[in-house]
């Protein structure tokens, strides 16, 4: 039986508790911390209760402390830059509406280029030998960071310090065209090779398609300009079929697997990225998601499971893509950026306070 009541207050309390329970800032080597912070902040934002005062300034200061000297963000202060931490730190700064004047744009551009391999894939850091960790999740993180760097609406006020010339005088911040870009053609080529015969996308070429990697690949292709979105585009029909076939009531990640709330976002978000969110059978999906609510707030991966920040946020994000969004009082979500449009636009405007 479906739990008809949306436990809004309990969810807000759950995310707040998780934020406060994060390990202390002295904790070393905790790359997950910034990711958990992103899930909690994003959950509070979708619920419309993200505080814009008090603790906000402390979180912003902490996020900037993760910016590596050479560009990009790490999981903990003084660690090396890491692509997933860079993506979640930028998104968290957007959720907090932090001015981006401290963003080392030239360093970030250099970091992204250094992470890219000749086959177009991206490594999580510049220090990993071989390409076994290069997968479509890293392509997505790189695509978001690149889109922030190349935002058309960025003004000089939000552009941050420009590179210094040989005399040590700060030059005018580089325009979009002057920022060295990654190899976009190769990045798209790698993603295309991850498409399987079934139509979904795998983490790397030759592996099995999965819901999460299909979301990352379609959203990254959208950001890199490598996706033709049209109801009739033959190139997305097999992907569309694979995604819609993952719906049981909620969604499974692969054929033969059980439903899990995170796949309602990964598969539903991929369909929304293809402008085909209407193909989700909304009532059973919404019921499954609401049934996975925990009495103490948050969501488990399925009904009766213990909640965690990852599934709690992705369940809310999935609900934000359903027709029930208004009724539940959730903010709108841009499926490609995995952020509300106002936070996405914050990044695209350069985080300019006057924007």
The interface region with Zn ion, picked from 130-138, 273-281, 299-307, 340-348 by CB under 5 A, is: 299-307
Q: Please answer whether residues 182 and 226 qualify as being in contact, where contact means their C-beta atoms are separated by less than 8 angstroms.
A: no
Q: Please answer whether residues 22 and 36 qualify as being in contact, where contact means their C-beta atoms are separated by less than 8 angstroms.
A: yes
Looking at beta carbons only, is 111 or 266 nearer to Zn ion?
A: 266
Q: Give the distance from CA 35 to its chain's centroid.
A: 10
Looking at beta carbons only, is 31 or 302 nearer to Zn ion?
A: 302
Looking at beta carbons only, is 75 or 253 nearer to Zn ion?
A: 253
Looking at beta carbons only, is 262 or 324 nearer to Zn ion?
A: 262
User: Any contact of residue 292 with Zn ion (CB under 5 A)?
Assistant: no
Round to whole Å and give the CA distance between 314 and 129: 32
Instruction: Show the tokens assigned to 338.
Output: 């995995």
Question: DSSP of 128-182, one letter per residue?
Answer: --SSTT--HHHHHHHHHHHHHHT-TT--GGGS-PPPB-TTSPBPPPPPGGGSPPP
Instruction: Show the tokens assigned to 173.
Output: 């911040």
User: Any contact of residue 260 with Zn ion (CB under 5 A)?
Assistant: yes
- Min dist CB 301 to Zn ion, Å, is 4
The interface region with Zn ion, picked from 12-20, 226-234, 260-268, 289-297 by CB under 5 A, is: 260-268
Nearest position to Zn ion, beta carbon: 262
Q: Please answer whether residues 115 and 138 qualify as being in contact, where contact means their C-beta atoms are separated by less than 8 angstroms.
A: yes
Kindly identify the residues of this chain, within the stretch 185-204, that bind Zn ion according to CB under 5 A: none
CA-closest candidate to residue 39, choices 238, 299, 348:
299
The interface region with Zn ion, picked from 23-31, 134-142, 167-175, 255-263 by CB under 5 A, is: 255-263
Looking at beta carbons only, is 97 or 257 nearer to Zn ion?
A: 257
Round to whole Å and give the CA distance between 66 and 102: 12
The interface region with Zn ion, picked from 38-46, 258-266, 280-288, 292-300 by CB under 5 A, is: 258-266
Round to whole Å and give the CA distance between 55 and 296: 23
Looking at beta carbons only, is 62 or 310 nearer to Zn ion?
A: 310
- Min dist CB 244 to Zn ion, Å, is 19
Residues that contact Zn ion, how many (by CB under 5 A): 3
Which of 7, 82, 146, 301 is in the footprint of Zn ion by CB under 5 A? Answer: 301
User: Any contact of residue 262 with Zn ion (CB under 5 A)?
Assistant: yes
Helices 8-20 and 32-46, packing angle to 10 deg? 150
Round to whole Å and give the CA distance between 134 and 186: 13
Looking at beta carbons only, is 90 or 262 nearer to Zn ion?
A: 262
The interface region with Zn ion, picked from 215-223, 266-274, 296-304, 325-333 by CB under 5 A, is: 296-304
- Min dist CB 173 to Zn ion, Å, is 41
- Min dist CB 30 to Zn ion, Å, is 21
Q: In this structure, what DSSP letter does residue 73 have?
A: B
Q: Please answer whether residues 279 and 231 qualify as being in contact, where contact means their C-beta atoms are separated by less than 8 angstroms.
A: no
Looking at beta carbons only, is 135 or 259 nearer to Zn ion?
A: 259
Round to whole Å and give the CA distance between 189 and 118: 11
Interface with Zn ion by CB under 5 A: which residues?
260, 262, 301
């Amino acid at each position: 039986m479906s739990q008809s009541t949306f436990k809004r207050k309990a969810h807000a309390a759950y995310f707040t508790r998780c934020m406060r329970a994060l390990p202390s800032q002295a904790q070393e080597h905790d790359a997950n911390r910034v990711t958990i912070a992103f899930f909690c902040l994003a959950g509070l934002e979708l619920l419309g209760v993200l505080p814009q005062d008090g603790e906000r300034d402390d979180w912003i200061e902490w996020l900037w402390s993760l910016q590596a000297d050479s560009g990009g963000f790490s999981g903990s202060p003084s660690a090396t830059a890491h692509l997933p931490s860079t993506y979640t730190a930028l998104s968290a700064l957007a959720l907090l509406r932090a001015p981006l004047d401290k963003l080392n744009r030239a360093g970030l551009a250099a970091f992204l280029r250094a992470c890219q391999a000749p086959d177009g894939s991206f490594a999580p850091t510049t220090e990993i030998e071989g390409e076994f960790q290069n997968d479509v999740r890293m392509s997505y993180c790189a695509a978001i960071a690149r889109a922030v760097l190349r935002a058309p609406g960025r003004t000089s006020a939000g552009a941050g310090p420009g590179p210094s010339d040989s005399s040590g005088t700060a030059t005018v911040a580089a325009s979009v065209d002057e920022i060295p870009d990654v190899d976009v053609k190769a990045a798209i080529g790698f993603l295309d090779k991850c498409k399987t015969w079934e139509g979904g996308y795998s983490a790397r070429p030759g592996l099995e398609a999965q819901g999460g990697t299909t979301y990352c690949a379609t959203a990254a292709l959208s950001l890199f300009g490598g996706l033709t979105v049209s109801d009739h585009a033959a190139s997305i029909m097999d992907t569309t079929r694979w995604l819609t076939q993952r719906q049981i009531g909620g969604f499974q990640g692969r054929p033969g697997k059980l439903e899990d709330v995170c796949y309602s976002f990964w598969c539903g978000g991929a369909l929304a990225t293809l402008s085909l969110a209407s193909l989700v059978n909304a009532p059973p999906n919404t019921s499954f998601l609401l049934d996975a609510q925990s009495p103490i707030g948050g969501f488990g991966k399925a009904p009766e499971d213990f909640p965690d920040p990852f599934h709690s946020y992705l369940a809310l994000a999935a609900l934000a893509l359903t027709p029930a969004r208004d009724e539940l009082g959730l903010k709108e979500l841009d499926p490609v950026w995995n952020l509300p449009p106002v936070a996405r636009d914050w990044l695209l405007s350069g985080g300019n306070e006057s924007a």
